[in-house]
Amino acid sequence: MADILRIGGASGFWGDAALATPQVLAAGGLDFIVYDYLAEITMAILARARAKDPGAGYATDFVSGAMAPNLSQIAAQGVRIISNAGGVNPGACAAALREEIARQGLSLKVATIEGDDLTGQAEEIAATAPIEMFSGAPFPPKDKIASINAYLGAFPIAAALDRGADIVITGRCVDSAVTLGACIHHFGWAPQDLHQLAGGSLAGHILECGPQATGGNFTDWRDVVQGLDRIGYPIAEVCPDGSFDVVKPEGTGGLVSCGTVGEQMLYEIGDPQSYVLPDVICDFSNVTLTETGPDRVHVAGAKGLGVPEAYKTCLTHADGYRGGHIFTFYGLEAEEKAQAFADAALARTRAALTRMNAPDFTDVSVELIGAESQFGAMRQSAPAREIAAKIAVRHVDARAIGLFMKEATGLGLATPPGLSGFAGTRPRPSPVLALFSYLTPKDQVPVTLRDGAGEVEIPAAAPQPADPPKRPALPVASAANRVVEVPLVRLAYGRSGDKGDIANIGILARRPDFMPWIWSALDEDHLRRVFGHFTKGRIERFYLPGSQSMNILLHGALGGGGTSSLRNDPQAKGYAQLLLAAPVPVDADLLGGWDE
């Protein structure tokens, strides 16, 4: 075990449970604990916070909740910490943490990685007018820009560890970099060790969402529900070749299985044969998952294909305002009453806007939760007698949002009967910080390491071109004596998420012999039947023979994406559930009587 690197994942988002750090520390034998706090939505929130207060803009509870109560145990065990909690202000985060370390009389060394923040270069960047890398949209007005951050890689983190840092705080880096940086430092991997870098990146991808690898958001949720209150956070035991085992602390809830780990592997990876990270272009198509013991899965087979010449860069910009509310109705004809109320509220507001010579809303969303509005054409329920009507609007002027809320609540005594709800003060308009993604050449992004010894610039590794991936042969179903239809969940696990305005749905076969039927069933026609109410955009499908799984991308499916969408599910978190519920054909003989 001397060559095994043990890394605990203790945060998957800003707001994750405070119990994670003491739990993984109690497991013992860890070399590192890593924390991922950042997502596109988080960056938008932090950018707004920094705009109001130059000392803000980082994940404050990393210092107060994760570090402060546990620093003495971290120091005693010699566990090193890596976190992207710096957000848009890693210097302020480090200063707050150093103050806390000094207050406790400890001598832990803190380093920061900076350079991802390109907001100060907005003028120069606007002059080059890059286009949005997914939609082709033009560059936004420069006076509307709130933040610009390049997604950095892992080698600067490794350099900070090489210089003796006990705690490394970064700004925006790719989520998996906090884990890969520890691997590079420990094993001495070089930029040309592409397969190892891909394996370490996959380990980071499994850890980056915390308990999503150990039973959280798991398709077979009944297998873990009894222990969700004490779910174990994931630990990766990484080997020198980049393969690794996924485990969890003994005595904790949750589950580590091919299902839980496989779902997380597919989560938000896009093209699995071209998963582009700053340090390596990964091919996960032949990754294998093997259960080698209770709550232990071995992951192997990640390949590195090359090194990109540019950093993915995310810009947030002001793009109007949004607001809305949930109004509940119950009783007879509740569904029709809720729709009539929504129509009346919007009509009354639009009439007022017309009288003011103001433009119409730029977007409107009405979703009747409880009437299977998320299921679209696949709805099966009868008319609902209880409805939560989510009504949301977007406009260039905050006053129009306030007007809608005033007019909607003003209908309280003029509504069809059955309106109710638990509410406090009237919701206020919130500014929309829309997301714009593009590529920045690495030589235009100086990366700086700062620690107690000073500061040093960390050059980017030279790019290594990657050949286009050779796509695997697609699975073909054998002839069947009898074909039956069953919900997809009988054949597969599923998990979904987002990248901007693209929904990503990963489907993992429960048995290898199910996969040909799954691939055949989930063709574009079927996907459009299930998701046609959400998207008319392009659909892509990818096959992963190593894990007998597939990845599906629905372009333009999220109403603009999480930072600006009005949807009830702007990040596609439930899209896999819609697909798993839909019936698909399968050879009856494969089911062994399950269809009876």
At 286 the pLDDT is: 98
Q: Is 96's pLDDT higher than 90?
A: yes
Residue 423 has pLDDT above 90, yes or no: no
- Domain locations along the chain: 5-116+151-307, 322-422, 483-591
How sure is the predictor about 563, in pLDDT bands with cuts at 50, 70 and 90? confident
Strand 275-276's sheet: what is its strand order?
275-276, 281-283, 303-306
Contact 437, 137 (CB under 8 A): no
Angle at 494 (CA atoms; ends 491, 500), nearest 5 degrees: 150
Rounded Cα–Cα distance for residues 553 and 541 (Å): 7
Residue 502: per-residue pLDDT: 95
CA atoms of 585 and 485, how far apart (whole Å): 4
pTM, two decimals, is 0.96
pLDDT of residue 368: 98
pLDDT given at position 593 = 59
Question: Rounded to whole angstroms, how far apart are CA atoms 157 and 361?
Answer: 45
* List of residues 6+ apart from 375 with CB closer than 8 A: 578, 581
Find the mean pLDDT for residues 31-52. 88
Whether the pLDDT of residue 592 is over 90: the answer is no
The mean-pLDDT minimum among 113-127, 520-534, 582-596 falls in: 582-596
Q: Which residues of 314-327 are buried (b: 16+ CB within 10 A; e: fewer)?
A: bbbbbbbbbbbbbb
Mean pLDDT for the chain?
A: 95
Per-residue confidence (pLDDT) for residue 2, from 0 to 100: 56
* Residue 237 φ/ψ, nearest 5 degrees: -105, 100
Fold that domain 322-422 belongs to in CATH? Alpha-Beta Plaits (3.30.70)
Q: How far is CA 96 from the centre of its chain?
A: 27
Which helix (H) or strand (E) covers residue 353, if one does? helix 334-355
pLDDT in tens, 568-590: 999 999 999 999 999 999 999 99
Q: pLDDT tens across 332-347, in order?
A: 999 999 999 999 999 9
Side chain identity at residue 541, one-letter code: R
Q: Are 466 and 305 in contact (CB under 8 A)?
A: yes
- The token pair that represents 357 in the structure block: 């010579």
Which pLDDT does position 596 carry in this prediction? 45
Q: What is the pLDDT of residues 437-457, one digit of tens each?
A: 999 999 999 999 999 999 999
**pLDDT single digits (tens) 351-403:** 999 999 999 999 999 999 999 999 999 999 999 999 999 999 999 999 999 99
- On the question of pLDDT at 8 being above 60, the answer is yes
Question: Coil, helix or strand for 435?
Answer: strand
Pair of tokens at residue 93: 């985060």
CB count within 10 Å of CB 594 equals: 12
Q: What is the pLDDT of residue 285?
A: 98
In the numeric block, which tokens belong to residue 335? 């569904």
* Residues in contact with 399: Cβ distance below 8 Å, sequence separation at least 6, in sequence order: 429
* pLDDT tens-digit map of 278-300: 999 999 999 999 999 999 999 99
Instruction: Give the pLDDT score at 157.
Output: 98
**What average pLDDT does range 93-99 have in this prediction?**
98
What is the pLDDT averaged over residues 74-95? 97
